[in-house]
């Protein structure tokens, strides 16, 4: 494993890369939440159900999944350029 201070940081993701990364994070997260809590959520009004889903999913995606996807992308970009 290389020292992070000596590893070059890749350029930020393009719009298309970021869109793909967000989709890769959001789709499975919403699927799992719906599989786990779908019956309980089904009784809610659609607007309230969407609010609950977004309130649960956004922190999971932003703080849990996206950092891993950014690190994975950085490794892939660094591997491709070396």
The number of residues making up the chain comes to 82
Q: What pLDDT, on a 0 to 100 scale, did the predictor assign at position 1?
A: 52
Integer Rg of the chain from CA: 17
The pTM (predicted TM-score) of the whole model is 0.81
- Residue ranges per structural domain of the chain: 15-81
Write down the pLDDT at residue 2. 52
Matching residue, tokens 């159900």 = 49
Average pLDDT per block of 10 residues along the chain, 82 residues long: 63 96 98 96 96 97 97 92 82
């Amino acid at each position: 494993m290389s020292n992070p201070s000596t590893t070059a940081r890749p350029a930020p993701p393009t719009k298309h890369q970021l869109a793909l990364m967000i989709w890769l994070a959001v789709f499975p997260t919403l699927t799992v939440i719906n599989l786990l809590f779908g019956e309980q959520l089904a009784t809610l009004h659609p607007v309230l159900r969407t609010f609950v889903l977004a309130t649960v999913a956004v922190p999971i995606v932003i703080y849990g999944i996206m950092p891993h996807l950014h690190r994975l992308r950085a490794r892939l970009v660094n591997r491709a350029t070396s």
